[in-house]
Amino acid sequence: MAEATIRLARRGEAGRIADIEVAAIPKFHTLPDFEKQFVGVVARLEKYTPFVEGGRAFVAVNEWDWPIGFSAVDEMDSEAYLAELAVDFDHQGRGLGRRLISAACDWARHAGFTSILLSTFKDVPWNAPYYARQGFRILEPAELSKPGIRRQRAHEAEFLDMNTRVFMRKLL
CATH number of 73's domain:
3.40.630.30
The identity of residue 7, as a single letter, is R
CA distance 74 to 166: 18
The identity of residue 56, as a single letter, is R
| Cα maximum dimension of the chain | 47
The per-residue pLDDT for range 20-54, each reduced to its tens digit, is 887 776 555 565 565 455 444 445 667 889 999 99
The pLDDT, as a whole number, for residue 29 is 55
DSSP 87-118: E-GGGTTSSHHHHHHHHHHHHHHHTT-SEEEE
- Percent of the chain at pLDDT exceeding 90: 66
pTM over 0.85? The answer is yes
**Which residues are paired to 166 by β-bridges?**
120
The per-residue pLDDT for range 118-134, each reduced to its tens digit, is 999 898 878 899 999 99
Structural domain including 155 reads 5-171
What SS3 string covers 18-70? Answer: HHHHHHCHHHHHHCCCHHHHHCCCCCCHHHHHHHHHCCCEEEEECCCCCEEEE
Domain count, the chain: 1
Residues 97-107, mean pLDDT to the nearest whole number: 97
